[in-house]
Chains A and B, each alone.
Chain A
Amino acid sequence: MTTLERLRELLARDFALKPEALVPGATLESLDIDSLRMIEILFCVEDEFKIAVSAEQSELRARLKTLGDLAAYIDTLVAEKQKAAT
């Protein structure tokens, strides 16, 4: 499963988002994911992908506009973690 697929599964299961709306280009705003909801999603993402999201809120807001952005960001963190482990 790709990161995006895992993310879609998590959002559909735990946050009751409609799977068909979870396309890479969907903006977080269009999915009704506000900053408070985002904090909880990141908490679940940390558990799911065994990573730590240490970036500040303002940085995250600037960086993550769409679902695709979030998936790519997760990939970056997973890669960084793997690199650090080797």
Chain B
Amino acid sequence: MRRVAITGIGVVSPLGGDAASFFEALAAGRSAVRRLEGRYHERLTTRVGAPAPFDGASHFPAPKLRMLDRVSQLALVAAAQALEEAKGALEGVDPKRAGVFVGTGMGGAQTTDEGYHTIYAESSDRVKPFSVLMAMNNAAASWIGLEHGLRGPNLTYSTACSSSAVAIGEAARRIAAGEADVMIAGGAEAPLNFGTLKAWDAMRTLAPEDPDDPSASCKPFAKDRSGLVLGEGAAMVVLEDAGRAAARGARVRAELAGYGLATDGEHITRPTVAGQALTLRRALEDAGIEAASVDYINAHGTGTQANDAVETAAIKEVFGERAYRIPVSSTKSMHGHLLGAAGALEFVAALLAMETKVVPPTINLRVRDPECDLDYVSEGARGVAKLAVALSSSFAFGGTNAVLIARTET
């Protein structure tokens, strides 16, 4: 099996439109969560979210823009950034051995929402002719492949909140197996339209607005945590055969060392300790490292009662006594839950933590929960002496769990 190098990172997030501004905000403990002011949003029971400060019109000419749902716009910009950073990753590569794997939960949900608004709310038959092409779940991945002329595998993974962790892990497998040389992998999500928000609202899983500070509404691992907050954005990485990356003198950000995939198999939403623990163990096994080598965990940490307690228990089961000495943070407290893009964005957060040796904090954790008793870095960002192995967890509705491990020292 070949080793997999990460040579490019691209981010369009609620906390900033590139990787540097994203991580700077994380390290400063800044939250992008706020009250949503869009059309019909006053009808939401809970109306906080983490929108990305992103205007497609400043990235695409009008004719192109009209063919792209917001989710594809975000994905294309993040992918272009990642390729730009990976300078020359596609030069000299056989396009038939370069591909794109993207994770998204809701795909072009905004187009669907607007189309339904037209036909139902406005009683009009004037549905946009490109609605299908904009809303289809594989649009984002397809556009990235088209834009960069990639003719290898182009796949879209939709496993809810683990979609993009799966996309990255599966892409790495293709490279490791020698089936592809360069892959663009990540996720994108744009769920802040009214229809999608209302559906989440109806599930009663969204955190109500914090009465004192809307930006503090998402409280992962806290006793008073009350649900998740939805966010939008995209994150992409460029993965390359490590030998090729070394030969071309590429700046290797980290090695994608391990990928674990397993399914709870018990309930459509309720997570299980066994399922999460199995996924963590598989990732460690795949990376060929001991649990003791992990220096940082970017947790799934949604801020729901169920996830955070189960995740804490799963970490303790796998890491034993050492669980208490590994910094574990949920950056969702700041950028919200990006659903299909969450795994990729949080994996990037872990990569940047390794690069800077700064562990981003879990904000809004003031009231301790005896069930959540790990080191969640709640005091603010923490500089550390060693951060060579980082792990990022993604656990999903439907039960498909994915864990990614990156390392900088071999």
Residues of A within 8 A of B (CB): 13-16, 37, 39-40, 43, 47
Contact A14 B129 (CB under 8 A): no
> Nearest Cβ in chain B — how far from A41, in angstroms?
9
> Which residues of chain B come closer than 8 Å to A40, judged between CB atoms?
66, 129-130
Complex CA gap A43/B127 in Å reads 9
> Which residues of chain B come closer than 8 Å to A47, judged between CB atoms?
126
> Nearest Cβ in chain B — how far from A74, in angstroms?
17
Secondary structure of the B contact surface, majority rule: loop
Summed over the interface, the residue pairs from A and B with CB atoms below 8 Å come to a total of: 18
Contact B128 A16 (CB under 8 A): no
**Interface flag for B63 (CB, 8 Å):** yes
Which one of B62, B126, B128, B130 contacts A14 once the chains associate, using CB atoms below 8 Å?
B62
Which one of B62, B63, B129 contacts A43 once the chains associate, using CB atoms below 8 Å?
B129
Contact B66 A16 (CB under 8 A): no
**Interface flag for B61 (CB, 8 Å):** yes
Complex CA gap A15/B64 in Å reads 9
Complex CA gap A30/B62 in Å reads 20
> Which residues of chain A come closer than 8 Å to B126, judged between CB atoms?
43, 47
> Nearest Cβ in chain A — how far from B360, in angstroms?
41
Type the 1/0 row for B110-140, where 1 means its CB is closer than 8 Å to any CB of A.
0000000000000000101110000000000
Secondary structure of the A contact surface, majority rule: helix
Contact B130 A16 (CB under 8 A): no
Complex CA gap A49/B130 in Å reads 20
> Which residues of chain B come closer than 8 Å to A13, judged between CB atoms?
62
> Which residues of chain B come closer than 8 Å to A16, judged between CB atoms?
61-63
Complex CA gap A16/B128 in Å reads 19
Complex CA gap A13/B66 in Å reads 13
A sample of 15 more A-B contacts (CB under 8 A), given A40-B129, A43-B129, A47-B126, is A13-B62, A14-B62, A14-B63, A14-B66, A15-B62, A15-B63, A16-B61, A16-B62, A16-B63, A37-B63, A39-B129, A40-B66, A40-B130, A43-B126, A43-B128
Ranked nearest first, the 7 interchain pairs of A and B with the lowest CB-CB distance are: A39-B129, A15-B63, A43-B129, A16-B63, A16-B61, A40-B129, A16-B62
Complex CA gap A58/B296 in Å reads 61
A and B contact pairs by CB, cutoff 8 A, 10 listed: A14-B62, A14-B63, A14-B66, A15-B62, A15-B63, A16-B62, A37-B63, A39-B129, A40-B130, A43-B129
Complex CA gap A39/B128 in Å reads 10
> Nearest Cβ in chain B — how far from A17, in angstroms?
8
Of chain B, the residue at the smallest CB distance from A40 is B129
Of chain B, the residue at the smallest CB distance from A39 is B129
Complex CA gap A14/B129 in Å reads 15
> Nearest Cβ in chain B — how far from A48, in angstroms?
13
> Nearest Cβ in chain A — how far from B277, in angstroms?
49
> Nearest Cβ in chain B — how far from A61, in angstroms?
16
Name, among A37, A39, A40, the residue most crowded by chain B CB atoms within 10 Å (CB to CB).
A40
Complex CA gap A16/B62 in Å reads 7
> Which residues of chain A come closer than 8 Å to B66, judged between CB atoms?
14, 40
Name, among B62, B63, B66, B128, the residue most crowded by chain A CB atoms within 10 Å (CB to CB).
B63
> Which residues of chain B come closer than 8 Å to A37, judged between CB atoms?
63
Complex CA gap A47/B63 in Å reads 17
> Which residues of chain A come closer than 8 Å to B63, judged between CB atoms?
14-16, 37
Complex CA gap A14/B66 in Å reads 9
Complex CA gap A14/B63 in Å reads 6
